[in-house]
Structure 1
Amino acid sequence: MVLKNVQMQPLKNPSNFRKLSMGNWGKVGDPQVYAVLELDCENALCYIDELRTKLDLKVTINHLVGRIIALTLDRYPQLNGMIARRKIYLRENVDIFFQVAMEGAETELVGICIKNAHNKGIAEFAENVIRKTSKVRSSKNHPMRKSQSRFSIIPWRAMPTLVKFLNWLQYDWNISLAWLGIPKDAMGSLMVTSVGTLGMELVFVPLTHIGRTPGQIAVGGIYKKPVVNDADQIEIRKRLNLCCTFDHRFMDGLLASKMAKMLTAIFENPQSYCEYIEGKTAGKEFVFEAKK
């Protein structure tokens, strides 16, 4: 019996747009859409300080963003999937991938994947990210790094064919290549990268064949900006850009809008939605709080 690489099911009753988009665009990178979601950070930063004191854990903006994305994919499961064999499939679990910067390894692309992120409260989620990040940085024998080290012996000309072939086996045929040392479904549902730690506020990252994730989010650095408040007065607020890249075959504007509204509501008012963030209420049960 061949072990599966991803637990997934075909999307039932796809919309006309999705079917037409599959015919209009042919491969990853063809239909990339870019969007910027500018968020107010003031309440989020206060909430993170509260969590750090309460949990004695170094919770960060990236942890909070990743956790809210997991909640969003749980609420809108039609956003949690991939394209394989020219069909759309939906994943059974929400897994969030974080790219990890490596000291002394300028171009080493590694990361960690938080499995079943929708079922982990912010404490467990952040602890998982911190622990796994430490492991991947401290050991060259970590599965994620070890699997990539094999590519050093592959000729440049052979790399495109090899990458597409391995991807075809893992996702089009859903075959686990763990026996080759390649982690199962290593990239998860969606990829998050922190460009803010590199001193950048606005950066778009490309989609990749590897992992078949239909979206990537780059978390920019926090900056100050004059904004008009509800009293029509100008004040200086701390802001953050989420730079989103997604596959238009998979996600249309309506779905993107729903995701953006939920993400914005929770991030900018975390105290009001703390039961979701902390795992006391599932993301699929999310409802918008009425404005006071």
Structure 2
Amino acid sequence: MGHIPLGKTQPLTTYRKIAIASWRAPRDPSTYSWFDLPIEEAEAFLNAYPSDPKPSLTYFIGKIVANCLEEHPALNHLLRQDRLYQRARTDVFITTLLNTPVGRDLSGFVLRDVPNQSLGEVAQSAENALALLRAGKDEDTEKIDRITSRLPIWMLRITMWLEDFFHYTLNVSLRKFGMPDDRFGSVMISNFGVLGIENALVPLSPYCRCPLILGVGRPRPLPIARKGEVVVAECVTISFTFDHRYADGVHGGQMMRRFQKIFLNPKRFPEVFDTPKAKESEQPTTAALS
């Protein structure tokens, strides 16, 4: 049993096989898209959401994209040995900027099985993980930092190649060597808006097999069309980077349309934020009660 829970292998279309054969992990298969979305409905929803701590825009986006991957599982795969395996779980990695003795460093934490948590539970899990990171008490991050600090770059490059081969190609856990299991999950979210950046396209990372990255910019006023008139509204740019070996434009378009619908009117989708599927399945059915 591998350390990453996986379902059965998926059938490959002609183009999918050509794409896998054409590109190696990931150097140039990036496909970029983005849109500017007004945030007034999202902010009102988050301000009224009954949880402590209050969920941030980043956690809100994490819940939405996790639901989109559940609804469109063609985007939730792992590529290993030139085959696409559908992931049995949807995990979300959130990047975090930390102050360290050698300067500001990019790190992050992973939230497991996000569709089966409510938005409040996601916010609590994320805040707990963030507190550990900032206190220097996150075991996985500490292990990675120790290994990285001891190795010269040429040896680190070899170590990363070996880690990638054993971890993903062979699906073997490397925890006994200090490497965390499935560190990055199904999707990564980078909120560069906290740095004052309004928009950016985030590249795929060659050291992980995460095929989807979302970038979140700094909100600012933009002209938008509303009921046939141009008005100014507070908007946020959300960018999407897809690995083209995993999916085509049709898959990305379907996911982005669903993402946009939920983001613009979250009150219409309470099941995304409050009714995890796992908990629904635990409820007795009418037939069972009878």
Distance in 1 of aligned mates of 2:37 and 2:240: 13
- 1:38 aligns with 36
Distance in 2 of aligned mates of 1:23 and 1:33: 17
- Is 1:128 the counterpart of 2:125? The answer is yes
Letter in 1 for 2:124: E
Q: State the secondary structure of the residue aligned to 1:55.
A: coil
- 1:101 aligns with 97
Give aligned pairs, total.
278
Distance in 2 of aligned mates of 1:141 and 1:44: 31
Q: Deviations over 1:199-252 (max 9, x none)?
A: 11111222123331011111111111111212x222111111111111101011
- 2:230 aligns with 234
Superposed counterparts of 1:114-125, under 5 Å:
114-125=111-122
- 1:272 aligns with 268
CA contact (8 A) 1:5 1:177 kept: no
* TM superposition shift of 1:258: 0.5
Distance in 2 of aligned mates of 1:262 and 1:23: 30
Distance in 1 of aligned mates of 2:85 and 2:276: 29
Distance in 1 of aligned mates of 2:113 and 2:276: 15
* TM superposition shift of 1:109: 3.2
Q: Which runs of 5+ in 2 are unaligned?
A: 279-290
TM-score, structure 1 normalization: 0.90
| CA 171–107 in structure 1, closer or farther in 2 if over 3 Å, else same | farther
Q: State the secondary structure of the residue aligned to 1:17.
A: helix
CA contact (8 A) 1:29 1:247 kept: no
Q: Deviations over 1:15-67 (max 9, x none)?
A: 2221121122223122111111222211001101101xx22322111010000
Q: State the secondary structure of the residue aligned to 1:188.
A: coil
1:68 to 64, 68, 71: 64
Distance in 2 of aligned mates of 1:159 and 1:56: 41
- Is 1:260 the counterpart of 2:248? The answer is no
Distance in 2 of aligned mates of 1:120 and 1:249: 29
Q: Which runs of 5+ in 1 are unaligned?
A: 283-292
Letter in 2 for 1:178: R
CA contact (8 A) 2:184 2:208 kept: yes
Q: State the secondary structure of the residue aligned to 1:129.
A: helix
| CA 174–267 in structure 1, closer or farther in 2 if over 3 Å, else same | same
Task: Report percent identity of matched pairs.
Answer: 25
Q: Deviations over 1:75-126 (max 9, x none)?
A: 1112111211111111100000011110246453321111111101101111
Distance in 1 of aligned mates of 2:4 and 2:107: 20
Distance in 2 of aligned mates of 1:26 and 1:135: 35
Distance in 2 of aligned mates of 1:11 and 1:251: 15
- Is 1:89 the counterpart of 2:76? The answer is no
Distance in 1 of aligned mates of 2:39 and 2:244: 29
Distance in 2 of aligned mates of 1:11 and 1:42: 42
Q: State the secondary structure of the residue aligned to 1:14.
A: coil
Distance in 1 of aligned mates of 2:197 and 2:90: 28
1:159 to 156, 161, 177: 156
TM-score, structure 2 normalization: 0.90
Letter in 2 for 1:204: L
CA contact (8 A) 2:52 2:120 kept: no
Larger mean Cα displacement after TM superposition, 24-33 or 249-258:
24-33
Q: Moved runs in structure 1, 4+ residues, more than 4 A?
A: none
* TM superposition shift of 1:139: 2.0
- Is 1:201 the counterpart of 2:198? The answer is yes
Letter in 2 for 1:72: C
Distance in 1 of aligned mates of 2:232 and 2:142: 43
Larger mean Cα displacement after TM superposition, 55-64 or 272-281:
272-281
